[in-house]
Amino acid sequence: MKEFNITGVCVGRKHYVVDVSKKINQIIKLIEKEEYFTINRARQYGKTTILSNIYDRLKDKYLVIDISFEGIGDNAFTSEKAFVEVFIRLVSRRLIQNKVDQSIIKDWEEFKKDLDGFEELSRKITQLSQNSSKDIIILIDEVDKSSDNQLFLNFLGMLRNKYLDREKGRDSTFKSVILAGVYDVKNLKIKLRPDSEKKFNSPWNIAADFDVDMSFSSEEISSMLNEYEKDHNTAMDIDKVSKEIYKYTSGYPFLVSKVCKIVDEKLNKDWSLKGIEEATKMLTEENNTLFDDLIKNIENHKELYNTIFSLIVNNKVIQYNVHAHSLGIMYGILKNSNGRLTVHNKIYEIVLYNYMIAKKQLEDIGRELSDYSTIGMYEDEKGNLDIKKALLKYQEYMKSVYSKFDKEFIERQGRLLLLAFFKPIINGKGFYFVESHTGFEQRQDVVITYGDKKYIIELKIWRGEEYHKKGIEQLEGYLSLENLHEGYLVIYDKNENKEYKSKLIKNIDKQIFAIWV
């Protein structure tokens, strides 16, 4: 029986896979044009699976040599001779597996005494290209292993020179070279001359832009669920479930597969929207290498950490700039959303919120929260969340600690304070995520689910009665979209003489419970 795969390459006979044929077609167009390029995407973004698909599609038409720098060892980068020997061995293994003519393999493997550098390797590549009856495509996975090594840059420089000479009709070489890794080696630099410390050029500036969207659309997710449904007949609403998975993952391949795997294996195949939500909750609470990398990357880059903090905690609108935000984009943490910089997906946002909440609780929110928010403290007799009681307690907490924070802190981090308060209350029984909106009053909606009920809390800064009324109308509109009749409003009032009050606002079929803090 097939399963959802979250490790290594996805294999159709063993795993439920997304139909990525459109992506492969785009990539093959680049190959047919004899382009050299890099597939640089974040960890666990499906790069290896894409390379495997390319191999399967082209192996009959071309001689496709797929190798990986994963696990080749540090000794390979001690000298040109060591690197060339490893490269020769990796390619030779693939030539044998591809059942290439023995004379070609023998010629490729024939080591000479002067085979000690890239000049000799260049000659061998020329011979291999001339002797092969098919054009040669080479795929190199896990190039991150060596991307910061001068020998690797020299290797790219050699491939670059051969590419340029081929274009001039002076050499024979690979038809296309595809490198795969997290880092875009197109931006790495190499010295033009050994005696020059100032003149640099990219050894991969010949590379074509790789603009293929590697994330899964909801339609592509549907293609995998259709395959699953044929085997299991769960009667799921594939279109709705696919859109719900996309809502939380933004199509990040590992996250898509992981959510599906949790539903299938741990939630008794509950393919309802509630099941997807529960799987997402379970995922955000687990330790895995992807989340470890996520935290490591923001902690290792202070500017990236501060950018994300501004986005999700301070709700700051930041205009997307491919150069200024290249690091976060490369790591798959940030993305362009209609000209605005945003966190790539809701799951990342939740994980980052939880992490930053934990840090803030230790730093400057204080231990007083433990007196106000604990599991089960705000449940009614039916086991539902008594959210009005919780909000009034939050108001009490804010009143008691207000003097500790300046006005700017309250405005910047009001949402963080609210989530820090609610996290222990809903822990284990509930789930939250954040909907941020631009435009009027920079709306911030916190969506909490607890049991079978959903609660929408909007956070606002008090800017007068007129804006307040418009904000009420917007919240009512959002409640209508969610088919809810009651919403909640937390108003941060920076006035010194403010009144800590609450109010139930009724309007036709909607009512909003508001507190001022």
Note whether residue 323 is domain-resident.
Answer: no
Q: What is the structure's pLDDT at 439? A: 42
Note whether residue 298 is domain-resident.
Answer: no
Check pLDDT > 80 for residue 369. Answer: no
| pTM score, whole prediction | 0.87
- Provide the domain limits for residue 240: 218-282
Q: Does 195 lie in the same domain as 239?
A: no
Q: What is the structure's pLDDT at 364? A: 54
Which of 249, 282, 315 represents a domain boundary (last residue)?
282
Choose the weakest-confidence range: 190-199, 346-355, 356-365, 412-421: 190-199
Q: Are 331 and 305 in contact (CB under 8 A)?
A: no
Q: What is the structure's pLDDT at 189? A: 58
Check pLDDT > 50 for residue 28. Answer: yes
Q: What is the structure's pLDDT at 419? A: 85
Note whether residue 431 is domain-resident.
Answer: yes
Residue 494: phi and psi, rounded to 5, are -90, 0
Note whether residue 6 is domain-resident.
Answer: no
Note whether residue 32 is domain-resident.
Answer: yes
Amino acid present at 402: Y
Higher pLDDT, 407 or 7: 7
Which one of 179-183, 214-218, 322-326, 419-423 scores highest in mean pLDDT?
214-218
Check pLDDT > 60 for residue 446. Answer: yes
Counting every residue written for the chain, the total comes to 517
Q: Does 408 lie in the same domain as 272?
A: no
Q: Does 230 lie in the same domain as 375?
A: no
Higher pLDDT, 465 or 25: 25
Rounded to an integer, the average pLDDT of 140-167 is 88
Check pLDDT > 80 for residue 371. Answer: no
Q: Does 237 lie in the same domain as 143?
A: no
Check pLDDT > 90 for residue 380. Answer: no
Task: Please report which confidence band the pLDDT of residue 21 belongs to, taking 50, 70 and 90 as the band edges.
Answer: very high
CB-CB neighbours of 195 under 10 Å: 7
Q: What is the structure's pLDDT at 206? A: 92
Check pLDDT > 80 for residue 410. Answer: no
CB-CB neighbours of 188 under 10 Å: 18
Q: Does 43 lie in the same domain as 74?
A: yes
Q: What is the structure's pLDDT at 124? A: 92
Overall domain count for the chain? 3
Note whether residue 244 is domain-resident.
Answer: yes
Kind of pairing between the strands at 444-450 and 430-436: antiparallel
Q: What is the structure's pLDDT at 14? A: 96
Rounded to an integer, the average pLDDT of 102-113 is 80
Q: What is the structure's pLDDT at 508? A: 78
Note whether residue 347 is domain-resident.
Answer: no
Which of 201, 232, 261 represents a domain boundary (last residue)?
201
Q: Does 130 lie in the same domain as 251?
A: no
What span, in angstroms and rounded, lies between the C-alpha atoms of 176 and 190?
22
CB-CB neighbours of 495 under 10 Å: 9
Q: What is the structure's pLDDT at 111? A: 61
Q: Does 246 lie in the same domain as 186?
A: no
Q: Does 87 lie in the same domain as 25?
A: yes
State pLDDT tens for residues 281-301.
Answer: 999 999 899 999 999 999 999
Q: Does 257 lie in the same domain as 119?
A: no
Note whether residue 213 is domain-resident.
Answer: no
Rounded to an integer, the average pLDDT of 271-290 is 95
Check pLDDT > 70 for residue 121. Answer: yes
Q: Are 40 and 184 in contact (CB under 8 A)?
A: yes
Task: Please report which confidence band the pLDDT of residue 193 belongs to, taking 50, 70 and 90 as the band edges.
Answer: very low
State pLDDT tens for residues 229-267.
Answer: 999 999 999 999 999 999 999 999 999 999 999 999 999
Q: Does 143 lie in the same domain as 242?
A: no
Q: What is the structure's pLDDT at 151? A: 87
Task: Please report which confidence band the pLDDT of residue 467 belongs to, taking 50, 70 and 90 as the band edges.
Answer: confident
Structure tokens that stand for 9 in this block? 């390459």
Q: Tell me what percent of the residues of the chain surpass a pLDDT of 70.
A: 88
| DSSP assignment string, 133-181 | SS-EEEEEE-GGGTTT-HHHHHHHHHHHHHHHHHHTTS----SEEEEEE
Task: Please report which confidence band the pLDDT of residue 148 belongs to, taking 50, 70 and 90 as the band edges.
Answer: low
Amino acid present at 411: E
Mean pLDDT of the chain: 88
What number of CA atoms fall less than 13 Å from residue 158's CA on the CB side?
19
Q: Does 276 lie in the same domain as 163?
A: no
What span, in angstroms and rounded, lies between the C-alpha atoms of 250 and 255?
9
Which of 251, 267, 282 represents a domain boundary (last residue)?
282
Check pLDDT > 80 for residue 409. Answer: no
- Say what the alpha-carbon torsion angle 12, 16, 19, 23 is, to the nearest 10 degrees: -80
Amino acid present at 302: K
Which one of 266-280, 304-318, 460-474 scores highest in mean pLDDT?
266-280
Residue 57, SS3? helix
Q: Does 512 lie in the same domain as 376?
A: yes
State pLDDT tens for residues 416-444.
Answer: 888 888 888 888 788 888 876 544 344 56
What span, in angstroms and rounded, lies between the C-alpha atoms of 330 and 335?
9
What span, in angstroms and rounded, lies between the C-alpha atoms of 210 and 4?
28
